Amino acid sequence: MAGFWTEHASDGTLLTDKGPGETSHGVVKKVKALFRGGAPVKVGHAGTLDPFATGLLIILLGQGTKLSQFIMSGEKVYVATVELGVETDTLDPTGNVLRTSHVPDMSSEFIQERVERFVGKIRQVPPAYSAIRYKGTRAYKLARSGQDVDLKAREVVVYSLHILAVDLPQITMRIRCSSGTYIRSLAADFGRDLGPGGHLRSLRRIKSGPFDVRDALPSSEITDKAREGFLSKKVLTNRDALPDMGEIIITAALAEKVRHGYQPIWEELIVGPKQQTGIQPDQYNKWIKLISDNKLVAIVKLNLENEISRIKAKLERVFSA
């Protein structure tokens, strides 16, 4: 299958639309299988989706795996359905039912009013059935073995939360939130706030950072599209995978030095060819792309060395030519 890929297609980002029942790792394995017979290619993803969930799963190829932390840091948008009156141990439809309750009539206005309590900075306890490490072990492994998992609450941000449909006992909503927000926990907390409790019935990720699921390839079509020679056209370059990150064009000579670990100072960065960065030297601690020959050379942060008042670019990630 490797012959169906262009050389650049083994290095970048592929937007996929994960189907229900499929694991995120399963999609990664499906993509990795396309390279059998050729040079080994590292494949990963930027943000797990639970098997019951669907939607945008960003696959990282080759050096694209170095982009994970930058892509995952972006805000997310989900469409979620909460089912009231049924609480499960996993907070989703795959778990064991813990409690059932009567669901009284509620108006859409009442529900929207209550949901506003969950907008802004909130503290939530991650699900026990999650990949967070607890005492050195993945929490879900301990939970599955019947051990108690006492995860600490953490702060997340819900930027907006809109009710899309009310068909009790189910409520469907659109959520825009920060990275690290657990929609399962949000659904369970919302259900308890309304009274009868509840769990996350369905979940679809529709946006992650600048990327939209409408631009993604259904995961079920990955193999067929590779055979048709179409898949390589869907792979974003490492430069294009970070469209919202500022960038600076640098010379080929400086790019060579950076690729060998050199950390340039500000004066070296602003003399590149056709320099139109729009970046000011006061943008400390902001990630910035260094570009040469239309390729991503490195991602840096500008740091001020106070003792000599010099701005230096700290290397965060470096990419080979």
| Active site residues per annotation | 50
Rounded CA-CA distance 217/57 in Å is 10
Which residue is it, tokens 């990795």?
Answer: 32
Rounded CA-CA distance 124/118 in Å is 10
Let me know: does 265 contact 311? Beta carbons within 8 Å: yes
Alpha helical stretches, state H, the chain = 24-33, 68-72, 108-115, 139-144, 183-194, 222-227, 252-258, 266-269
Among residues 238, 243, 235, the alpha carbon closest in space to that of 298 is found at 238
User: 121 forms bridges with which residues in the sheet?
Assistant: 157
Let me know: does 201 contact 212? Beta carbons within 8 Å: no
User: 58 forms bridges with which residues in the sheet?
Assistant: 15
Rounded CA-CA distance 313/299 in Å is 9
Among residues 283, 280, 281, 277, the alpha carbon closest in space to that of 249 is found at 277
Count CB atoms within 10 A of the CB of residue 304: 15
Rounded CA-CA distance 77/283 in Å is 27
Among residues 153, 148, 105, the alpha carbon closest in space to that of 128 is found at 148
